[in-house]
């Protein structure tokens, strides 16, 4: 038996479990008339998950003011799927962040509003495993609710999943995705080209840029390439100078040093695109 701490509504309550501490129980009528200190059986709950922090509990309570229990149940199934696919227990905040996001996404779809995502390809390239699971979640939501959520939403769900897996804020994850988009736009402008987002050289460039950002964030710098750098500077001056411009933007955005050797690898990627 669990001890009731707080009833959030007729169908959701917070209880204390001897093993997990504070948990959220979801079940039809489970919270009706329940008072603090009373007992409740785990078997009465259809779903339950851990929600330890007081701040998270308050945010979740506010969420229940506008999200119905049926949708909460769907979200709990989806979050369980994420944890199963990655064999990990996610931070409790995803119950709030992802539920809130998808609730309004579904609402927009039902209102006939479009969901566009200019960084869908870049997101898939950066986080392929998270993208695959996000695709599963959107398909499950579409089947459960009888709607069609546009593919662009998969990218946004991917970022939520990666944020939860990496324990990085969504704003930080978004910042990296937007930075890649900004760099690609500069490349197209300077080289006067329109890049095919399905081109293999573009895919390699985006993957490389994400690896660069990760290395910079972890301060895992690469070896010096001084000799090759001088050769490329002479052979491909436009792409070489552009690589330095991109590196300065990354440095300003991430507030970290970008190693000089990165100019070599960026120049090679840029030259492949410019040549094609």
pLDDT tens readout for residues 196-249: 888 899 999 998 998 888 888 887 766 667 788 889 999 999 999 999 999 999
Look at residue 48 in the predicted model and tell me its pLDDT: 73
Share of the chain above pLDDT 70, in %: 97
Residue 272 has pLDDT above 90, yes or no: yes
Residue 252 has pLDDT above 90, yes or no: yes
68-82, 123-137, 242-256, 260-274: least confident range: 68-82
Residue 134 has pLDDT above 80, yes or no: yes
pLDDT tens-digit profile of 93-122? 788 899 999 999 999 999 999 888 888 988
DSSP strand E in 44-181: where? 47-50
d(CA 245, CA 241): 6
Whether the CA torsion 32, 38, 43, 47 is positive or negative: it is positive
Residue 51's pLDDT band (boundaries 50, 70, 90)? low
Residue 77 has pLDDT above 80, yes or no: yes
Query: By the 8 A CB rule, do 52 and 22 touch?
Result: yes
Average pLDDT over every residue of 67-88: 88
pLDDT tens-digit profile of 154-168? 999 999 999 999 888
Ordered domains of the chain (ranges, CATH) = 1-52 (2.30.24.10), 66-167 (1.10.1790.10), 180-275 (1.10.1790.10)
Residue 126's pLDDT band (boundaries 50, 70, 90)? confident
Tokens of 246: 């991109």
Look at residue 152 in the predicted model and tell me its pLDDT: 94
Backbone phi and psi for residue 16, each to the nearest 5 degrees, phi listed first:
-110, 125
Residue 136 has pLDDT above 70, yes or no: yes
**Can you count the helices (H) and strands (E) in the chain?**
11, 5
């Amino acid at each position: 038996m669990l001890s009731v701490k707080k009833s959030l509504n007729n169908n959701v309550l917070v209880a204390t479990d001897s093993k997990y501490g504070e948990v959220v129980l979801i079940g039809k009528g489970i919270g009706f008339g329940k008072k603090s200190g009373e007992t409740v059986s785990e078997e009465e709950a259809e779903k339950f998950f851990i929600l330890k922090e007081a701040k998270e509990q308050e945010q979740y309570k506010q969420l229940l003011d506008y999200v119905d229990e049926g949708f909460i149940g769907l979200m709990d199934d989806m979050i369980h799927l994420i944890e199963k696919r990655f064999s990990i227990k996610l931070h409790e905040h995803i119950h709030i962040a992802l539920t809130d996001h998808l609730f309004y996404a579904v609402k927009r779809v039902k209102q006939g509003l479009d969901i566009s995502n200019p960084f869908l390809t870049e997101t898939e390239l950066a986080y392929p495993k998270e993208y695959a699971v996000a695709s599963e979640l959107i398909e499950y939501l579409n089947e459960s609710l009888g709607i069609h959520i546009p593919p662009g939403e998969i990218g946004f769900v991917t970022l939520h999943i990666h944020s939860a897996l990496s324990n990085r804020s969504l704003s930080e994850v978004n910042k990296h995705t937007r930075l890649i988009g900004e760099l690609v736009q500069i490349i197209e402008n300077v080289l006067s080209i329109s890049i095919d987002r399905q081109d293999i050289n573009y895919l390699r460039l985006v993957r490389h840029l994400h690896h660069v950002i990760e290395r910079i964030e972890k301060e895992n710098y690469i070896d010096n390439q001084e000799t090759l750098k001088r050769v490329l500077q002479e052979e491909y001056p436009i792409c070489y100078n552009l690589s330095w411009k991109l590196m300065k933007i990354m440095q300003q955005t991430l507030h970290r040093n970008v190693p000089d050797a990165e100019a070599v690898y960026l120049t090679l990627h840029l030259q492949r695109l410019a040549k094609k």
